Chains A and B, each alone.
Chain A
Amino acid sequence: MVERYVLSIDQGTTSTRCILFDHQGRLVSVAQREHQQYFTQPGWVEHDATEIWANLGRIVPRALENAGVGPGQVAAIGIANQRETTVLWDRRTGVPIGNAITWQDTRTDALVDELRRTTGDDFFLDRCGLSPTTYFSAPRIRWLFDHVDGLRERAERGEVLFGTVESWLIWNLTGGPDGGLHITDATNASRTMLMNIRTLSWDEELLGYFGVPRAMLPEIRPSAERYGVARALLPDVRIGAALGDQQAALFGQTCFAMGEAKCTYGTGSFLLMNTGTDPVRSRHGLLTTVGYKIGDEPTVYALEGPIAVTGSLVQWFRDRLGLIHSAPEIETLARTVEDNGGCYIVPAFSGLFAPHWRSDARGVVVGLTSYITKGHLARAVLEATGWQTREVIDAMNADSPEPLKALKVDGGMTANNLLMQFVADVLDVPVVRPMVSETVSLGAAYAAGLAVGYWPDLEGLRRNWHRAGQWMPTMDPARREAEYENWRRAVERSLGWMRS
């Protein structure tokens, strides 16, 4: 029998990856290509959507070649993508209207401040589960209408289409101007600020509020469903799934039960907890988002806590302070001392994200004495990631009906044993690393494989998940409390530093 595989596309912030997985969920081949970042003005970060589509055209054949696999052996395609990044394009020509505006782009900050001031968070929280930040897509569409002549009119006439990156890729894969499917999935749509979080349909009031014409919007579909077959790149192969990258990681980590959570530790970190089939409205500074929706089954919701600065603090320590040569060396340096020596670093480089949401905060180093060495600073850098995780988990436990029992982790920082032990210590739950670290790609593959029957059900997927490592909490509770108290006092000192 000819072996069949699921092909996963991870369209990320810095690169696009194509990975083939086999039936046991093992990685068979990888091809990757970076794309250009355009920093056209301070705070602006753009991508060229045409380049991203062209890159896909190169990596898909390479991934197949590496594995010696033909398109006929691909059971399904699953897509995971950078979330919230906004692409507008011409329906007839398929040419994007300017560059894609990425999730990191802060050009809408004045607009967002105004929305919060004049309308208040509750209006938005009630409808889309989010309070306005520069992450989300709707303020960006509004910004484009305000700055590109005639764009709103063209959008109203249905000449211009909007999509996040998965919509753009699916439209191109399924024929582009020649009958391409204009769809998005519920997880991606839940990051636009335009979708009603309960009905999973475009919300009339929000559309009216942002002045976004319905004609430009994609159809919202489940995250796993047979959307259609590809016509470009992989002719006749079924496209079976699309999810935002963090939701894909939640799925790849098989967090299928209420209360299960994962944290992806990269440049920034994203903690998502499955909260079951009812959306939980956070009272503690978390985002309510769609976790996944499989076919006709009930929607599964998640609470999300994004942390802006974790791995990037290590990068700062390496590149700006020059105290280490590579990120992993921070562990070596931190192990030259027993503890933090009383030193704490709050990395509020551009304010604090979840659960504080304080744009007036700036970074602080507290507890400096003549005793402090670079080893203590290295500890404080790693501990900052641990305590920021703890704050998000505390908020989740306060909001969610089901307290956290264990945390599944992935991302580059999970190679750091000292950090993973510290996270287990401060959370007081086991921290578990899975054997496939490419959880984003795996999640997209799982969802697509499920849609086409390559995998039978969630239980089957769970059996593919294996523990590669585990850290058990060992910290003395009194010490944990005292340290947390110190951290909280350090956070207080970071607040209000920026004067408006």
Chain B
Amino acid sequence: MAGPVQSIERAAAILRLLAQGSGRLGLGEVSAALGLAKGTAHGILRTLQSVDFVEQDKETGKYQLGAALLHLGTSYLDINELRSRSINWADALAARSGEAVRLGVPLEGKVLIVHHVFRPDDTFQTLDVGSLLPLHASALGKVLLAFGATPLEPVMEAEPEGYTRHTLTSHQQLGRALGEIREAGWAAAVQEMIMGEADIAAPIRGQGGLVVGAIGVSGSVERLCDSRGRPDPPLVGLVRDAARAVSRDLGAARW
């Protein structure tokens, strides 16, 4: 195994330093206190600032701990912001795929639908925003579970409900499925919640690659899958492209 990463150790030291005393230090003070070259300290401070762990006072130029550190445990991306940032990509996905598009985030052991674009066929549809889906029986939910956006244990403790004969209810089934999803980078749920219905989803990543939500298409099995019930590859490609586009907009560099 590789040894500790030096810049992370130094970043941790800077955060500890800022957490002490008055908590406001200039660049010179930080570099002197830790015995770092000014350039090095500055680079680390700038990076910490870009992830909101550190803030710089506009007038004095001094650094202090950032607000994001206080909310580390809670979701850092506002759901309404997520909708605003993804709305154009979600529209494009619906237009290209011809299917309804939904965005989900984890909320108290469920998937909360935060955005919904109608299937572009002008039939009567109603907005699903605000409704909840089970994590284990939807592609959106399985993506959130697979990429660590929400923990699996509570789902297993609550004994996952079997909606259809295709629903994954055992720890073993679900564990294997999540492994495959991590491997493939996308998920499908075919008739796992409602017979005749399917959805396909991929992860939306924020800064640093953290998965903050999932985007996907949903509709009837005949349209989303081939005759053997396997998700249509071009459709999967469109979903993954949209997820990557939103992720890039949110600042996930590599995806």
Q: A328-B80, A331-B80, A332-B79 are in contact. Are A470 and B118 (CB under 8 A)?
A: yes
Given contacts A326-B78, A416-B80, whether A26 and B117 have CB atoms under 8 Å apart is: no
- Given A326-B81, A332-B78, A469-B116, answer yes or no on A435-B127 (Cβ-Cβ < 8 Å): no
Residues in B neighbouring A471, C-beta threshold 8 A: 127
* B103 CB to nearest A CB, Å: 12
The answer, yes or no, to whether B122 is at the interface (CB within 8 Å) is yes
B170 at the interface (CB under 8 A from A): no
A435:B129 contact, CB within 8 angstroms: no
For residues 313 through 370 of chain A, which have their beta carbon under 8 Å from a beta carbon of chain B? 326-332
Digit string of B109-148 for contact with A (CB within 8 Å is 1, else 0)?
0000000111011100111010000000000000000000
Contact yes or no, B129 A468, CB < 8 A: no
Q: Contacting A466 at CB < 8 Å: which of B78, B85, B122?
A: B122
**Alpha-carbon distance A440/B32, docked complex (angstroms):** 56
Q: Which residues of the partner chain B approach A470 to less than 8 Å between Cβ atoms? A: 118, 125-127
B88 at interface, CB cutoff 8 A: yes
With known contacts A26-B96, A435-B91, A435-B117, A328–B122 Cβ distance under 8 A: no
Whether the Cβ atoms of B84 and A328 lie closer than 8 Å is: yes
- Chain B contact residues: helix, strand, loop or mixed: helix
Nearest CB on A from B102, distance (A): 12
Known: A466-B122, A467-B122, A469-B127. A435 touches B95 (CB 8 A): yes
Q: Is A417 an interface residue (CB 8 A)?
A: yes
Total interface residues on A, CB under 8 Å, equals 25
Counted as pairs of residues, one from A and one from B, with CB atoms less than 8 Å apart, the total is: 71
Chain A residues within an 8 Å CB radius of B168: none
The reply on B83 being an interface residue by CB < 8 A is yes
Q: How far is the CA of A467 from the CA of B119 in the complex (A)?
A: 8
Q: Which residues of B contact A330 (CB under 8 A)?
A: 80
Label chain A's interface by main secondary structure: mixed
| Contact status A27-B122, CB under 8 Å | no
1/0 per residue, CB under 8 A from B, across A290-326: the answer is 0000000000000000000000000000000000001
- Known A-B contacts A466-B118, A467-B122, A469-B127; A437 and B88 likewise in contact (beta carbons under 8 Å): yes
* Closest-CB distance, B213 to chain A (whole angstroms): 14
CB of B25 closer than 8 Å to a CB of A: no
Report B-chain residues with C-beta under 8 Å of the C-beta of A466: 95, 118, 120-122
Return the chain A residue nearest B130 by Cβ. A417
- Chain B residues, Cβ within 8 Å of A437: 87-88, 91
Given contacts A328-B84, A329-B81, is CB(A469)–CB(B118) below 8 Å? yes
**Residues of B contacting A468 in the complex (Cβ-Cβ under 8 angstroms):** 91, 94, 117-118, 120
Q: Which of A24, A415, A435, A469 contacts B84 (CB 8 A)?
A: A415
Q: A interface vs B, CB < 8 Å?
A: 24, 26-27, 326-332, 412, 414-417, 435-437, 466-472
15 contacts between A and B (CB under 8 A): A24-B95, A27-B92, A326-B84, A328-B83, A328-B85, A331-B80, A415-B80, A417-B127, A435-B94, A435-B117, A437-B91, A466-B95, A467-B118, A470-B127, A471-B127
